[in-house]
Chain A
Amino acid sequence: MSAVTARPVQTLIPKTKIWTGTRAIAEAVKIADVDVIAAYPIRPYTGVMNELARMISDGEFSAEIIVADSEHSQFEIAKHASAVGARTFVGSSGVGLLYAAEAITVTALAQLPVVALAGCRALDDPGNFGMEWNDTLVFRDFGWLVSWAKDAQEALDMTLVAYRVSEDRRVLLPHFVAVDGAAITHIASPVTPPDERIEGFLPPYKPPYPLDPEYGPVTKAQHIAPSLIGPEQRKVVDASMKRSREVIEEAWRDFSRRVERSYPPFLESAYMDDAELAIVTMGAYTKDAVYVAKKLRGRGERVGVVRLRYWRPYPAQELRESLEDVKGIAVLDFSYSFGSPDMGGAFYNELRAALCEASQKPLILDFLFAGGREPNVGHFEKAVEITKRAVKRGRPDRLVYWLTLRGEDI
């Protein structure tokens, strides 16, 4: 073999990297120039912590990184740092998030724009590393925004946009960026980081009333006066959540101008014009769902895919519009909710609730991928097949299917 000549790769692919989701999110934290990071290990979140620690020790940026003694302390640290005016990053997974639940709920009521990574992980046959959504979905009710990335690229982008939305004075709510554990956090895939056009996207964080004597004395999240107990405190959060919709739209419009990607704010759909059947899902397996739809389109079947990018605020109106003409919906659902309406997953039942107000009611079937066992395209094709048959007959045999289960699906 004679001497090998390298191709001029730098000009071929100037900007793309192959990064894991955890690395991509850490890069976003660096770009956001976060001041305080609170860490406590649990896979898959741990990867972000490792990447950030490495970046800080390599001098790539500087931030206080505080390793807490538990997830509860970790979220408390982020909460308090945010209250004094720091931009903060925190995160966890699985039972770790649930252990921090008390701090997590108060962060929202205190309207502190903490951004947290939720690296979704099963709850918790000890040692179950599999991916389920329940660890994050349980925080749907408390005033956190929750967005759901589909890949490492979007995880980076969403993290940046999360700071912009959370810190906006119309919102001032904390924000989970949820990513599917393993499938996004630990698989390295092509990512193009933003270039200098990102400058100015994220103005410095200036809380209206920081806990800082320089700005005058304030007390935050004090013991509530009896006369204040009532719905008013909740309404303030409700109003912020409502206002967040326009802020999210603005932020993604601005972000899309600065990168070579464009994102619809709330829903992403593929092959939905003229679709009779829709796959509805979130997260990493969207890619496989789109692949399945494309394949079935090749056989003349009118199948499309709709993906929620936000779980809070929930894009109910957008879903009603986008699913207006479909006859059947296959929900790819990585959440369970034992004893829920029709024993479906939390994701499924919320979709059903949203479509309850739709003018036409499609058949909605739940395909529940519980327990962290990974499904594959074969399962997704089967889900569409079952939905198609149910639509043809005009009624479903049943509403909920466990396709990856070993044993009888009773």
Chain B
Amino acid sequence: MAIPEYERLTWAVVHCRGVLHTAHGANLVRTLATAGMVAGKESYYYMRYDDSPERDNVPMIFYAVMGDPKVDVVLHEEVEPVGKLFDAVVVMDSSLLLHRTSQRALILDGTKEDAVLVVNTSLPPERVLEIVGERQLAHDWRGSLVNIRARTYDPEIAYPLLGALAKAWNGIRIEDIIGALELLGKGEKASVVEEAYRDAEPIRVFLRAGERALGRLELPEARGWWDLETYRAYQAAAAGARTYEERMMAMPRWEVLAPGLIEFGPTPGEKNIGFTTSFERYLRPKVDKGKCTDCKLCYHYCPDGAMGFEAIVDLNYCTGCGICAEVCPVKAITMVGEWEAEKGLREEELLTIEEALREYMY
């Protein structure tokens, strides 16, 4: 259900990973909102409140939202977008494009059709478009894309990303970003923003969602009192939902809930479909069976029960934490980038933990 009030506002959304990017994401939206204020707009910024930025690598989302003298900002803490809201999307880690977000929605869900996408990546634009077309479209997209290798400009990646964003998007002017940096005591970052602005080369994009576009879910009638079968059907629909709208549709009606905060299952051997973790991963363990001595240490140390007794990883539950690789006495486990594992491509623009700003805003 679209609510026109929210669509009239100007929205930017930043996808990033907990701890690695928490402060970077906050810097980006803070600067953006301040730039909006410099431009005379009523401006807000915030983190998606249900995300857990204190947990390593968990996908998280920041928003900046601006009204203007003619458009009131109506408050909406953006848990689930209603309608086509977002004008600009920034992705701080390209591996986020491989999976749905922590909300099990698509990166380009909730966006306007002409949205601008900025990706921090060493990958060529065609590969980014390919994966977006394959996995992230909720509807047709006729916007623009700009790829930038942010870290090559500055370890504080928010600033080069802002430069690229300003180039591709008419929602904010670079002068106002420079003004915002002054106000925030970050004047020294102006040259980084300008340099990235100069170099950025946005390309026009037209991707069709085709049959991936939003469908209707088939859900059983609620029969006035809970039963296991109906509950399971909702659970499966929620886990399989591809957009916010589908996810909301799949949320059980109260009649479907068993009394007393009950979740059913899983029975042994079954997957808990509501709790898979692939979106948390930008690296995954790869086991070299030739080196493995079958000592079972990785099995015992894996905090998520994702490493099997025979050193086979269950990618539904592996969070990519790297503990197994750390404890393996014969170095039989290496951590491989998700892009490399899935598509044979190397992503050079991953932040290291040393480059994460160890600030915590919330």
Contacts and interface: CB of A to CB of B under 8 A. Distances in A.
B33 interface: yes
A193 to B, nearest CB: 14
Contact of A5 (B37, B49, B74, B175): B175
B44 interface: yes
A294 B70 CA distance: 13
B50 A188 contact: no
Contacts of B261: 125-126
Interface string B161-180: 00000000000001110111
A9 B3 contact: no
Interface string B12-53: 000000000000000000100110011000111111011000
Interface of A is mostly: loop
A376 B182 contact: no
Interface stretch (A11-19, A79-87, A235-243): A11-19
Most chain A CB within a 10 A radius of its CB, from B43, B49, B50, B179 = B49
B6 A376 contact: yes
A406 B254 CA distance: 6
Contacts of B330: none
A18 B254 contact: no
Most chain A CB within a 10 A radius of its CB, from B5, B33, B38 = B5
Nearest to A290: B72
Contact of A377 (B5, B198, B256): B5
Interface string A349-389: 00000000000000000000000001011100000000000
Interface stretch (A179-187, A262-270, A337-345): A179-187
A188 B175 contact: no
B41 to A, nearest CB: 10
A287 B74 contact: yes
A190 B30 contact: no
A302 to B, nearest CB: 20
A287 B75 contact: yes
A407 B221 CA distance: 11
Given A187-B44, A188-B45, A376 B3 contact: yes
A1 B45 contact: no
A12 B33 contact: no
A182 B49 contact: yes
A4 B47 contact: no
Interface residues of A, number: 43
Interface in A157-190: 182-183, 186-190
B275 interface: no
A7 B175 contact: yes
Contact of A129 (B46, B50, B256): B50
Given A13-B37, A47-B362, A374-B76, A189 B44 contact: yes
Interface in B40-71: 42-47, 49-50
B79 interface: yes
Contacts of A317: none
B254 A378 contact: no
Contacts of B304: none
Nearest to A44: B49
A188 B255 contact: no
B194 A186 contact: no
Given A20-B46, A374-B77, A376-B82, A188 B254 contact: no
B197 A1 contact: yes
A405 interface: yes
B194 A16 contact: no
A111 B316 CA distance: 56
B26 to A, nearest CB: 9
A44 B77 CA distance: 14
A378 B45 contact: no
A231 B188 CA distance: 66
A186 B62 CA distance: 11
Given A1-B194, A182-B49, A374-B79, A291 B72 contact: yes
Given A13-B38, A50-B362, A182 B77 contact: yes
A16 B254 CA distance: 45
B295 interface: no
A285 B76 CA distance: 9
A44 B361 CA distance: 12
Nearest to B38: A9
Contact of A407 (B50, B77, B179, B255): B255
Interface string A216-253: 00000000000000000000000000000000000000
Contacts of B213: none
Contact of B33 (A4, A188, A294): A188
B182 A6 contact: yes
B190 interface: yes
Contacts of A10: 182-183
Given A13-B38, A186-B46, A4 B79 contact: no
A399 interface: no
B46 A188 contact: yes
Contacts of A126: 261
Nearest to B362: A47
Contacts of B3: 376-378
A188 B30 CA distance: 8
B313 interface: no
Contacts of B82: 376, 378
Interface string B227-269: 0000000000000000000000001111110000100000000
B254 A405 contact: yes
B222 interface: yes
Nearest to B193: A4
Interface of A: 1, 3-7, 9-10, 12-13, 16, 18, 20, 22, 43-44, 46-47, 50, 125-126, 129, 182-183, 186-190, 284-285, 287-288, 291, 294, 374, 376-378, 405-408
19 contacts: A4-B175, A4-B194, A6-B175, A7-B175, A10-B183, A13-B38, A13-B183, A20-B362, A47-B362, A125-B261, A182-B49, A186-B77, A187-B45, A288-B75, A374-B76, A374-B77, A374-B79, A376-B6, A407-B256
Closest 10 pairs (CB-CB, A-B): A407-B253, A9-B179, A407-B254, A187-B46, A182-B49, A6-B178, A406-B253, A188-B45, A189-B44, A182-B77
